[in-house]
């Protein structure tokens, strides 16, 4: 029995390579009539830095700033996805409807990716990797390495082409 791909988790760090990885996620989604959830994880401040920021700003002000940053990031991701869809309009049938959900959260990226994958029962994880050539194994980010080792679903790691 061939596996069905219906739900794709596209994890992005908003880099150029992540955009390249989205090309692959969109192509797979288009071929399988699957949906994509775009997911970005904001790294948490180290506990001692967070404590200092809250001491200076106050917890209420810090929460307002954090919430506004998350809203701005959601707008940024949506704008990038809209631009992608416009650029690829002729290549994809239903591009505006491919992205089912955009989620932004705070935490350790690999852990958050894996927890969301389990919680929402994704069929495939797509993410970008930095680096090319002989050093690629050394250059694979720790997030990518941890996701590959612990994921319970197939994981597509997309490297940036050498000519870019």
Task: Assign residue 47 the CATH number of its domain.
Answer: 3.40.50.620
C-beta separation of 21 from 128 below 8 A: yes
- Give me the pLDDT at residue 54, please: 82
pLDDT (mean) for 23-39:
89
Q: What is the mean pLDDT of residues 106-112?
A: 90
Residue 58 within any structural domain of the chain: yes
Q: How many domains are there within the chain?
A: 1
Asked if residue 103 belongs to a domain, the reply is yes
| Neighbour tally for 40: CB within 10 Å | 21
What pLDDT shows up at residue 97? 55
pTM, two decimals, is: 0.79
In a domain, 12, yes or no: yes
* Residue 2 lies inside a defined structural domain of this protein: no
**Mean pLDDT comparison of 39-53, 112-126, 132-146, highest-scoring range:** 112-126
Q: Residue 130 is part of which domain span?
A: 7-159
Tell me if 31 is assigned to some domain. yes
pLDDT of res. 116: 97
Q: Is residue 164 part of a domain?
A: no
If phi > 0 it is left, if psi is from -120 to 50 it is alpha, else beta; for residue 137 that is alpha
Is residue 145 included in any domain, yes or no? yes
Report yes or no on 1 lying in a domain: no
């Amino acid at each position: 029995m061939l596996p069905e791909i219906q739900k794709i988790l596209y994890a992005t760090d908003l880099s150029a390579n992540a955009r390249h990885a989205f090309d692959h996620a969109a192509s797979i989604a288009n071929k399988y009539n699957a949906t994509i959830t775009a997911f970005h994880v904001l790294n948490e401040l180290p506990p001692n830095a967070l404590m200092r920021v809250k001491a200076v700003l106050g917890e209420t002000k810090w929460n307002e700033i954090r919430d506004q940053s998350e809203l701005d990031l959601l707008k940024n991701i949506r704008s990038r996805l809209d631009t992608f869809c416009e650029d690829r309009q002729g290549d994809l049938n239903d591009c505006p409807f491919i992205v089912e959900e955009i989620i932004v959260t705070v935490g350790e990226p690999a852990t958050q990716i894996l927890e969301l994958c389990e919680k929402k029962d994704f069929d495939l994880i797509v993410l970008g990797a930095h680096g090319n050539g002989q050093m690629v194994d050394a250059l694979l980010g720790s997030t990518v390495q941890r996701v590959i080792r612990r994921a319970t679903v197939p994981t597509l790691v997309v490297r940036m082409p050498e000519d870019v």
